Structure 1
Amino acid sequence: MRDLPPLNALLAFEIVARTGSVRAAADELLVTPSAISRQIRLLEEHFGVALFARQGRGLTMTSVGAAYYERVTSHFDGLRKASALLHASSGRAVLKLRSYTTFATRWLLPRLSHFQLAHPEIDVRLTTESQWSDLGDFDAAIRLGDGQWPEHRAVPLVPNILRPVCSPALLKGSETKDASWLARQTLLFVRARPDDWALWCDAAGIDMAGLKRRRELESSALAYQAALEGHGVALAQLVLVEDELAAGDLMAPMAFALDRRNVTYYLVSDVRSQKRTVLDQLQRWLTSVDAA
């Protein structure tokens, strides 16, 4: 075994090379990005060569790294196929599902837990990430959009209603606030949804040019946390902050809410999927009012 590199490091390398992202590899392996970086350094030390070139905060494969990836990735594909066959022969259906991180933690996970209890014969394996990418090796994914994706079945899961929310600490009176109040607040923008505030302001008849105080955050989860801590006003997808609103930890200071209608979260799968029966079971569960 002395000729084999550390297998954890090799796995981290294969995923980073396949996805092009340390963060994606961290999400897939349920570890931190720094842990992935350590494994990559360990593999490079093992061989004494650079497998990736660091460019700012990103990575690109060196020629040596690319050549090594081409040789090892087929072996990982073989392992995945062999594992899939073993799972199939064991009698349990395996369903690989991918979701945005915030949607998974705030809406999907409780429903999946109940689904697993009700359907022990189905093994749902959830991977989270901050942005959408192609289905790839996944059987289904959660995608935010208009539902119009060729060769994919898209089933809407929730209403996507946008409304400003903030900590009660920002409110000095119980009355509904107006545009002048909003102009004095810090607006919390989400990098993955950069147009939401503009859409809401346009529909609400508010000149966004007058809203000067802004802060950009990586994800909705961070925006909601910043709002909870009193750092500004987040434009929330209401279905994702129901618990905080019900508990009074977040308040909706302005009356207007924008219903994005067909632009919402969908359960997306390939129309030719061989796991249609299992996918239909999951779809029926997630769209049932009794799923939570």
Structure 2
Amino acid sequence: MRDLPSLNALLAFESVARTGSVRAAADHLSVTSGAVSRQIRQLEEHFGIPLFQRYGRGLMLTHAGSAYFQQISTHFEGLRQAGQILHRSAGRAVIRLHSFTTFATRWLIPRLTAFQLAHPAIDVRLTTASDWDDAADFDAAIRLGSGEWPQMHATPLVENTLVPVFRPAPGRKTRLDPENLAQHTLLRVRGRPDDWRLWGDAFGIETRRLTNWRELESSALAYQAALEGQGVALAQRVLVEKELAEGTLIALDDYRLDCGSLTYYLVWNRSSLKQTNLRLLEAWLTERETSDFQPGNPA
């Protein structure tokens, strides 16, 4: 297998092929036209095939040269884009953070906003998804589980308590009794199919006998449906604190199920080179009081 050609020769070739001119390429590379021509000859000697066809004072790519340019041009463009990203991020550390969508919108984003103001040299780039993807690429992530993931550092963020919630309405009793759940539409989340069963088992309620179900794609949709009076949602209480405080939702607080170690964790690989900044983010998310992030309170 032949060695790769010199980088200078590749730069000269790419620049001439892109601009169509040795002089323009020389100006772009801040060298002489003669230097560019020598690099082109060197590249042609390396491959043993003409890459340009000379006509008058100009150059035209041969068939082989055109095919080679198409192959390498995408890589050069990638290098340029990577350089632009570095320039834009100069002096800033980047943390790529991945989270479940509902948790991000209802709990995480207000805290990240305050974190960015307090740590302007750290750029947190958040991506979200409704379901966990093992192929997701991140520096840190919010995961739901028991906290045991191989090679991962994991810190719990919230208490995960499940509680039925519904919208108060004229003529409806303020306190909904578990015994009359069959009279209501129960909102079930497709990605959390076992929540109602686990809750029912904890309080001796046979939810399998209940038949009036409505299935929704995400917890966010279930909470919105409950807000609109379309049924009873089994909520992770920490994600509906705002609605409970405002009175737009009511919780069956006598029937709260503490899920213990099954909760949301901030996780990252133990070998991460970004641990210093990740620990700053971890401290911020675990030590700040909830009241710091209520509307009207400075963060």
Question: How high is the TM-score relative to the length of structure 2?
Answer: 0.68
Q: How does 1:260-279 map to 2 (within 5 A)?
A: 260-279=259-278
Residue type of the partner of 2:237? L
Q: CA deviation at 1:289?
A: 3.0
Q: Does 1:130 align with 2:130?
A: yes
Q: CA deviation at 1:91?
A: 1.3
Q: For the structure 1 residues 283 and 85, does the alpha-carbon distance in structure 2 shift closer, same or farther, using more than 3 Å as the test? A: same
Say which SS state the counterpart of residue 236 (structure 1) adopts. Answer: strand
Residue type of the partner of 1:101? T
Equivalent position of 1:192 in the other structure: 191
* Percent of paired sites with the same residue: 56
Equivalent position of 1:37 in the other structure: none
CA distance in 1 between counterparts of 2:231 and 2:220 reads 14
Q: How does 1:161-172 map to 2 (within 5 A)?
A: 161-169=161-169, 172=172
Deviation per residue, 1:92-132 (Å, 9 max, x gap): 10111111111111000100000000000101111111111
CA contact (8 A) 1:178 1:254 kept: no
Equivalent position of 1:103 in the other structure: 103
Count residues with an aligned counterpart.
221
Equivalent position of 1:202 in the other structure: 201
Q: CA deviation at 1:183?
A: 1.2
CA distance in 1 between counterparts of 2:235 and 2:203 reads 15
Structure 1 runs (4+) greater than 4 angstroms displaced:
70-88
Say which SS state the counterpart of residue 255 (structure 2) adopts. Answer: coil
Q: CA deviation at 1:74?
A: 7.0
Q: For the structure 1 residues 214 and 116, does the alpha-carbon distance in structure 2 shift closer, same or farther, using more than 3 Å as the test? A: same
**Gap runs ≥5 in structure 2:** 1-70, 294-299
Q: How does 1:1-292 map to 2 (within 5 A)?
A: 82=83, 85-86=86-87, 90-134=90-134, 136-169=136-169, 172-174=172-174, 176-253=175-252, 255-290=254-289, 292=293
Deviation per residue, 1:165-214 (Å, 9 max, x gap): 0010286223x332331111111011111100000000011011321100
CA distance in 2 between counterparts of 1:144 and 1:221 reads 16
CA distance in 2 between counterparts of 1:102 and 1:238 reads 13
Deviation per residue, 1:31-65 (Å, 9 max, x gap): xxxxxxxxxxxxxxxxxxxxxxxxxxxxxxxxxxx
**Gap runs ≥5 in structure 1:** 1-69
CA contact (8 A) 2:197 2:208 kept: no
Q: For the structure 1 residues 83 and 280, does the alpha-carbon distance in structure 2 shift closer, same or farther, using more than 3 Å as the test? A: farther
Q: What is the aligned-residue RMSD (CA, Å)?
A: 2.4
* Larger Rg belongs to: 2
Q: For the structure 1 residues 75 and 226, does the alpha-carbon distance in structure 2 shift closer, same or farther, using more than 3 Å as the test? A: farther
